[in-house]
Amino acid sequence: MDQSDDDFFANLPATRGAAGGLIRSTSGDVLLVRRVYDPERPWGIPGGIMEADESPVAACRREIAEELGVTARVLAPLVIDWVPSRPPRTAAYQWLFRVEVPHTDFRLQPDELSGWEWVPPSRLSEYLAAGTARRLEAAVSVDDQGLGLVYLEDGHAVLPART
């Protein structure tokens, strides 16, 4: 690679990536976790920021192991959501996978999580920020209907659903 290639790649926009898991109870409720580091938006899904050179699936597995103390079985991608920048945050791709865990005897990471709760899909908007709720509602719909991967922008579907 010559210097002009180095300059080209150095000037590309930085885009973050995050990955999380949709974990459901036998009755279809969604596992939400209570984060200690964000008191304004304490509820979220198990998951987090992808590390350098880490794939979305690897990040999902790692984050669930770190946060819940269990080994996740990643079953399928449900949603990819492009989230625009909101300074100081850069734009991000949020990956959401359908995940199974072997049990709910979670060992929460105390510096990150203070609790967890099963939440009916109809109540997700009561717990989550609007964009996160839209993303998770889309993932629940994909999971319930057996659809393939759905692409969103800021939690909104921008392409027609394929059946």
Ordered structural domains, the chain, with CATH: 15-157 (3.90.79.10)
Q: Is residue 1 predicted with pLDDT exceeding 70?
A: no
Q: Is the peptide bond before 110 cis (omega within 30 degrees of 0)?
A: no
Q: Can you tell me which residue has the tokens 């510096």?
A: 111
Q: Can you tell me which residue has the tokens 């999380």?
A: 20
Q: Can you tell me which residue has the tokens 């210097």?
A: 3
Q: Hey, what long-range contacts does 125-134 have (CB within 8 A, 24 or more apart)?
A: 127/32, 127/43, 128/32, 128/41, 128/43, 128/44, 129/41, 130/155, 131/81, 131/83, 131/155, 132/41, 132/44, 132/45
Which residue, among 124, 132, 23, 29, has the nearest Cα to 68 in the 3D structure?
Answer: 23
Range 13-22 average pLDDT? 90
Model pLDDT for residues 142-160, shown as the tens digit of each residue: 999 988 899 999 999 998 7
Q: What is the mean pLDDT of the chain?
A: 92
Q: Is residue 2 predicted with pLDDT exceeding 70?
A: no
Half-sphere exposure of 120 (CA within 13 A, CB side): 2
Q: State residue 89's pLDDT score.
A: 85
Q: State residue 59's pLDDT score.
A: 97
Q: Is residue 130 predicted with pLDDT exceeding 70?
A: yes
Statement: the pTM of the whole predicted model exceeds 0.85: yes
Model pLDDT for residues 65-88, shown as the tens digit of each residue: 999 999 999 999 999 999 998 888
Least reliable range by pLDDT among 50-59, 84-93, 107-116, 117-126: 84-93
